């Protein structure tokens, strides 16, 4: 019988700081592995200490997940959708509490944390509703046969999350899996471990049986153990290209399906027929939302030569007006980067770009907060095609601008990347829009807008930006396996050969292997040999005067 845990409220931030951040079988517990520190991006202070999940604890969590999943898959899609819908209502109820924890955990403005929770709500509702129709399957029929295809759960799904959208990514990976009858083992980023635990408590209060959503904490070693574990039936990962490649290699050993949402180095092309002020707002959205820590960001901004100077000037003015402030304040639109290590990485990209000929054209005035923490000002840089930052993902608040002359030139330069997550074009010429949609080598395209990712449509990339999609029907499909069953129509169960015209044909014998039904078992030697004769060597002719023999597959009935 599936165990359900009743909860009345979420854990407080104070409680989360104290540890017990694994969520196993409906309960918060500590790991027994080595410990590591997590720091608050907003202040730079110690947020909490975490004990990693050991190999034995991982084995136990997977065993619990499998037992729970076998019962969960027997429930109806409608019942599972009801649980997800209730979880969505609870996320709405606890939006402010979770947003506060998310901002402390990640450093992004609290306004963005509230928006991320809405994305999680949308994912739960969409996947619950979509799965009801998706799992119904389809039926087809042909000459003498009928068949049906239907989808079944994959089993135990592992999610490995990113630190830039903690609650959103946890929901994106768990919602379709749970809706389709799977269990979920989720490892959040070691930099942002808290909100995934709160999601587990929300699921428990919504009525999700214990063991179906479990959170395990750890660093890279735990991710490697998950990737190599034979009890994991599917992995969904969001993160860097090298880590995604490692997961793909490990999964190949088990011939296991994966969904990989990896990095991007996306182009945003602005033509001279587009409104300059709207273009500047779009460039800001494509580069500085979440302090630039967005995989799809349009960091390579190509400006047509006719508007290069004017848009550059307006862009610099707009960027210089951005205030870097306390992310817990409602008015803040630009907060802290996620960690000291990441701040140093982004600043290293800037230093190397300058040495390669890049030029910072925005101001470097002081940051408006004295909280400490991991803050930097947004940067606009003039760049060229032959520098490290043009090819590599910096994942920070750096907008790179380039000048171009012709459409053909900019398409070639825009596609000159090993990554293909997203691409955007700003233009009022809709014939040009069609050409860019057709020729952009990217999986997610934006026309006169940027960085939308609604639950209803697929999001994902080409090339080394990943495998599969997140969101949309395609994503829900990826958490199922397709079964197809064929069987004969009633009138086709007798074995016969229909001959429509006399014709000399080579006699052939076809062996049909038909298992003989026993009362209690199947035996290896219980087969019946059935012979057919006069099977034609040819069965069609275009001329009406030529001979023609029609035959069709026949079905043998059980003995």
Burial code (b: 16+ CB inside 10 Å, e: under 16) for 256-272 equals bbbbbbbbbbbbbbbbe
CA quadruple 237, 241, 246, 252: dihedral positive or negative?
A: positive
Taken in order 382, 388, 390, 396, is the CA torsion positive or negative? negative
Q: Which residues of 170-206 are buried (b: 16+ CB within 10 A; e: fewer)?
A: bbbbbbbbbbbbbbbbbbbbbbbbbbbbbbbbbbbbb
Identify whether 276 is a catalytic site residue: no
> pTM higher than 0.85, yes or no?
yes
Element containing residue 339 per DSSP (H, E):
none
Instruction: Name the phi and psi angles at 404, rounded to 5.
Output: -140, 160
Residue written as token pair 């799904």 = 157
Helices (H) and strands (E) in the chain, counts: 16, 24
For residue 1, the model assigns a pLDDT of 60
Q: Where are the beta strands (DSSP E) in 292-378?
A: 300-304, 359-360
Rg (CA), the chain: 29
DSSP assignment letter at 182: -
For residue 2, what pLDDT is reported? 67
Maximum Cα–Cα distance across the chain: 97
Cβ distance 86 to 112 under 8 Å?
no
Q: How far is residue 320's CA from residue 314's CA, in Å, rounded to a whole number?
A: 10
**How far is it, in rounded angstroms, from Cα 377 to Cα 366?**
8
Residue 492's pLDDT is: 60
What tokens were used for 225?
């153990």
At residue 544, the pLDDT reads 41
Q: Tell me which CATH homologous superfamily contains domain 267-455.
A: Aldehyde Dehydrogenase; Chain A, domain 2 (3.40.309.10)
Which residue out of 40, 102, 205, 261 is catalytically annotated?
261
Do 45-262+473-483 and 267-455 share a fold? no
Which of the listed CATH numbers 3.90.650.10, 3.40.630.10, 3.40.605.10, 2.60.40.1120 matches domain 45-262+473-483? 3.40.605.10
Q: Where are the domains of the chain?
A: 45-262+473-483, 267-455, 494-559
**In 3D, which of 526, 543, 483 has the Cα closest to residue 148?**
483
Give the Cα separation of 166 and 473 in Å (integer): 22
Residues 6+ away with beta carbon under 8 Å from 144: 488, 489, 491, 492, 552, 553, 554, 555
> What is the rounded distance in angstroms from the CA atom of residue 188 to the CA atom of residue 105?
12
Q: Could you tell me whether strands 527-528 and 514-515 are parallel, antiparallel, or unpaired per DSSP bridges?
A: antiparallel
Q: What is the pLDDT along the chain (559 residues), one digit of tens a residue?
A: 666 665 557 999 999 999 999 999 999 999 999 999 999 999 999 999 999 999 999 999 999 999 999 999 999 999 999 999 999 999 999 999 999 999 999 999 999 999 999 999 999 999 999 999 999 889 999 998 999 999 999 999 999 999 999 999 999 999 999 999 999 999 999 999 999 999 999 999 999 999 999 999 999 999 999 999 999 999 999 999 999 999 999 999 999 999 999 999 999 999 999 999 999 999 999 999 999 999 999 999 999 999 999 999 999 999 999 999 999 999 999 999 999 999 999 999 999 999 999 999 998 767 877 889 999 999 999 999 999 999 999 999 999 999 999 999 999 999 999 999 999 999 999 999 999 999 999 999 999 999 999 999 999 999 999 999 999 999 999 999 999 999 998 766 554 555 544 444 444 433 333 343 334 443 344 333 334 434 444 433 334 444 444 434 343 333 3
Report the C-alpha gap between 128 and 81 in whole angstroms: 4
Q: What would the DSSP string read from start to end of 260-286?
A: EE-----EEEE-TTS-HHHHHHHHHHH
């Amino acid at each position: 019988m599936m165990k359900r845990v009743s909860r009345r409220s979420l854990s407080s931030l104070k409680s989360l700081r104290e540890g017990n951040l694994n969520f196993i079988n409906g309960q918060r517990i500590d790991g027994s592995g080595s410990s590591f520190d997590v720091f608050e991006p907003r202040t730079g202070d110690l947020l909490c200490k975490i004990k990693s999940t050991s190999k034995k604890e991982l084995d136990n969590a997977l065993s619990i997940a499998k037992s729970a999943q076998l019962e969960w898959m027997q429930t109806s899609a409608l019942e599972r959708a009801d649980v997800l819908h209730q979880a969505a209502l609870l996320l709405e109820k606890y939006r402010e509490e979770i947003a506060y924890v998310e901002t402390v955990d990640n450093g992004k403005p609290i306004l963005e944390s509230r928006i991320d929770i809405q994305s999680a709500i949308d994912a739960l509702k969409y996947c619950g509703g979509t799965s009801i129709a998706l799992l119904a399957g389809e039926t087809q029929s042909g000459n003498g046969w009928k068949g049906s295809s239907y989808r079944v759960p994959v089993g135990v799904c592992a999610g490995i999350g990113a630190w830039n959208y903690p609650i959103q990514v946890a929901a994106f990976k768990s919602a379709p899996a749970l809706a389709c009858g799977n269990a979920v083992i989720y490892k959040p980023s070691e930099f942002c471990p808290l909100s995934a635990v709160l999601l587990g408590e929300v699921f428990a209060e919504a009525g999700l049986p214990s063991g179906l959503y479990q959170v395990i904490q750890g660093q890279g070693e735990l991710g490697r153990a998950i990737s190599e574990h034979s009890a994991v039936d599917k992995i969904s990962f969001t993160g860097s290209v090298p880590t995604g490649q490692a997961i793909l290699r490990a999964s190949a050993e088990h011939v296991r399906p994966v969904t990989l949402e990896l990095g991007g180095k996306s182009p945003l092309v602005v033509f001279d027929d587009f409104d300059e002020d709207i273009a500047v707002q779009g460039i800001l959205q494509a580069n500085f939302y979440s302090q630039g820590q967005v995989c799809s960001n349009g960091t390579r901004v190509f400006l047509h030569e006719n508007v290069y100077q004017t848009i550059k000037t307006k862009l610099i003015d707009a960027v210089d007006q951005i205030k870097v402030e306390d992310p817990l304040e409602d008015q803040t639109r630009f907060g802290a980067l996620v960690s000291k290590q990441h701040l140093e990485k982004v600043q290293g990209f800037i230093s190397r770009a300058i040495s390669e000929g890049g030029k910072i054209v925005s101001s470097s005035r002081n940051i408006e907060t004295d909280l400490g923490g991991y803050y930097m000002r947004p940067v606009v840089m003039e760049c060229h095609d032959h520098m490290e930052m043009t090819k590599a993902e910096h994942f920070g608040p750096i907008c790179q601008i380039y000048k171009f002359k012709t459409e053909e030139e900019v398409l070639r330069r825009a596609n000159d990347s090993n990554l293909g997550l997203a691409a955007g074009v700003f233009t009022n010429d809709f014939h040009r829009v069609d050409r860019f949609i057709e020729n952009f080598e990217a999986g997610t395209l934006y026309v006169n807008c940027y960085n939308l990712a609604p639950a209803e449509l697929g999001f994902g990339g080409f090339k080394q930006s990943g495998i599969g999609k997140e969101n949309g029907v395609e994503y829900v499909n990826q958490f199922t396996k397709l079964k197809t069953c064929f069987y004969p129509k009633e009138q086709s169960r007798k074995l016969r050969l229909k001959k429509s015209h006399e014709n000399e044909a080579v006699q052939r014998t076809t062996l049909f292997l038909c298992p003989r039904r026993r009362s209690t078992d199947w035996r290896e030697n219980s087969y019946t040999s059935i012979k057919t004769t006069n099977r034609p060597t040819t069965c069609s002719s275009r001329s009406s005067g030529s001979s023609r023999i029609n035959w069709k597959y026949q079905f043998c009935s059980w003995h």
